[in-house]
Amino acid sequence: MFGVEVSRKARQVLGPLLGAAVMAYFSYHAVQGDRGLIAWWNLRYEIERADLDLAAVTSEKEALEHRVALLRPESLDRDMLEERSRLMLGAIHPNDVIVPDPEQGTGQGNF
């Protein structure tokens, strides 16, 4: 008699226990899994960071394209040409005044 009652109670408890285990399994993976909430938040953060990087690179690209456009033969800017040639050749004009930039280290101390 006692064994029959235990068996009946076990069957009554087994269904809800199994349901709770299945719910816990899916709840855990909905939060912690490869496609869970935490992974989704991390992916959103990485996308935002990549968008910021893209904006910075795009801005730098546009600035470089503008400088290159100033050196094209159809729209040559003489000041830009002179600046680039002096920089590349390391030449200065005798009347030039050189002003050191304190943000750039010269190796000879700070100004």
Confidence at residue 74, expressed as pLDDT on a 0 to 100 scale: 80
pTM, two decimals, is 0.51
Let me know: does 36 contact 42? Beta carbons within 8 Å.
no
User: Hey, what are 26's tokens?
Assistant: 């899916």
Q: How much is the pLDDT for 109?
A: 47
pLDDT along the chain (111 residues), means of 10: 75 90 92 89 96 98 90 79 81 78 62 41
